[in-house]
Amino acid sequence: MIRQSLKFRKTVTIVCVLSLIIFIFLILRRDKLNNIDIEGHQRLDNTQNIGYRDFNKMPKKDDNRQEAAEMDINNDEAKQELQEAKARLAQLEKKIAILEGRIPQKYPDVKYLGYKERKRILVTGGAGFVGSHLVDVLMTQGHEVIVVDNFFTGRKRNVEHWFGHRNFEMIHHDIVNPLYVEADEIYHLASPASPPHYMQNPVKTIKTNTLGTINMLGLARRVGAKILIASTSEVYGDPMVHPQPESYWGHVNPIGPRACYDEGKRVAETLAYSYAKQEKVDVRVARIFNTYGPRMHVSDGRVVSNFIMQAIQNLTITVYGNGKQTRSFCYVSDLVDGLLALMASSYTLPVNIGNPVEHTIEEFAVIIKNLVPGCRS
């Protein structure tokens, strides 16, 4: 009986333990399944969230087409811009080639001067007709040349064959304003010279010849330079004496149409001798008579350029009056020789520079007509 009871109790215990194990196993398994489910849901949620967020951003079919069309337009515009830029570039390259062609590959021959002989020479109005020829001679002699010009009547083209040369410098400057440079000699030529040019702005003409000359004389005093003033035969005005010696004081109308030039040059001479007397500036004064030659302005308005232009264009050569009035014309290289000789000399009083041989205007007209081939004027 006791043995049976023990056996029964043992069996019950084993069943209970087994049931407990199965129960625990079942609970554990359920938890695991739940976890897997939750993870799965979370993953699903995440993908859905991402999908939802990006959905707004995702291009729709119509948007895609519009964007493609816009891109096409942008591409066309860019292509057109590129073509335009290429065309502009080609134009600029052509321009550069033309400009480069004008820069001399080889400069005219220049003498070598040691630093003791080489002078630094300032030429005001150096891009003008006379100034540019003077610059050519000074450069070929081996000096350092500084050209100052405001290009009122002068042109860069007149001196462009020196651009880039180590002895050459060009300053775009109006001499009515002070200038600070170093120089051993100054050739002061800046001033319009022909009547249409100097009458175009009479106030400026007189300022250039007075204020401009004061500035150049002041510069000469500061740096101890010798200065040559380019004066004119017009300081004699409508002369009562023929030919005019330097001692003749002239016959000038101070309020006439040419006064801005005539009186401007007379004041320039007065200033030169005042600076010489008071400030001990070493001055030279050249009274230049009519000059002609290459690089003369075509619209110079004076008889030589007028006759040449009329002959070239087969127009009637206009002679005022009976043509028996006389003039003298000096070739520009002779004038330059005269200016250099005067600067080098110790002569300080005014000097007339021109051609002493006079011709009638009628003779000039015939000479020019015969020189221009095919002229039927």
Active site residues: 261
Q: Among candidates 190, 177, 329, 343, which has minimal Cα distance to 268?
A: 190
Q: Which is closer to ligand NAD, CB of 122 or CB of 288?
A: 288
Nearest 10 degrees: CA dihedral of 316, 317, 318, 319? -140
Q: Which of 138, 159, 183, 189 binds ligand NAD (CB under 6 A)?
A: 189
Q: Which of 121, 192, 272, 284 binds ligand NAD (CB under 6 A)?
A: 192
Q: Which of 122, 143, 144, 154 binds ligand NAD (CB under 6 A)?
A: 154
Amino acid of residue 117:
E
Minimum distance from residue 316 beta carbon to ligand NAD (Å)? 24
Q: Which stretch binds ligand NAD (CB under 6 A): 98-106, 125-133, 252-260, 276-284?
A: 125-133
Q: Does 152 bind ligand NAD (CB under 6 A)?
A: yes
| C-alpha 348 chain-centroid distance | 38
Q: Which is closer to ligand NAD, CB of 142 or CB of 248?
A: 248
Q: Which is closer to ligand NAD, CB of 59 or CB of 178?
A: 178
Q: Which of 8, 23, 25, 151 binds ligand NAD (CB under 6 A)?
A: 151
Give the C-alpha separation, 114 to 376, whole Å. Answer: 54
Q: Among candidates 312, 313, 233, 217, which has minimal Cα distance to 271?
A: 217
Q: Which is closer to ligand NAD, CB of 167 or CB of 232?
A: 232
| Tokens encoding 339 | 């200016």
Q: Which of 210, 291, 310, 352 binds ligand NAD (CB under 6 A)?
A: 291
Beta strands in 180-238, from DSSP E residues, in sequence order:
185-188, 226-232
Give the C-alpha separation, 230 to 209, whole Å. Answer: 10
Q: Does 129 bind ligand NAD (CB under 6 A)?
A: yes
Q: Does 252 bind ligand NAD (CB under 6 A)?
A: no
Q: Which is closer to ligand NAD, CB of 131 or CB of 350?
A: 131
The β-bridge relationship of strands 326-327 and 359-360 is: antiparallel
Q: Does 230 bind ligand NAD (CB under 6 A)?
A: yes
Q: Does 350 bind ligand NAD (CB under 6 A)?
A: no
Q: Which is closer to ligand NAD, CB of 258 or CB of 297?
A: 297
What does the DSSP 8-state code read for residue 237? Answer: B
Size of the site for ligand NAD (CB under 6 A): 30
C-alpha distances out from residue 28 to 16, 55, 182, Å: 18, 40, 106
Q: Does 199 bind ligand NAD (CB under 6 A)?
A: no
Minimum distance from residue 149 beta carbon to ligand NAD (Å)? 5
Minimum distance from residue 89 beta carbon to ligand NAD (Å)? 34
Q: Which is closer to ligand NAD, CB of 333 or CB of 377?
A: 333
Q: Among candidates 327, 344, 325, 335, which has minimal Cα distance to 287?
A: 335
Minimum distance from residue 330 beta carbon to ligand NAD (Å)? 8
Q: Which of 170, 193, 235, 276 binds ligand NAD (CB under 6 A)?
A: 193
Q: Among candidates 356, 332, 357, which has minimal Cα distance to 230?
A: 332
DSSP reduced 3-state for 349: coil
The C-alpha angle 175, 176, 180, rounded to 5 degrees, equals 50
Q: Is the N-terminal amide bond of 243 cis, ω within 30° of 0?
A: yes
C-alpha distances out from residue 78 to 68, 88, 287, Å: 15, 15, 65
Site residues, ligand NAD (CB under 6 A): 124-125, 127-131, 149-154, 174-176, 189-193, 197, 208, 212, 230, 232, 288, 290-291, 297
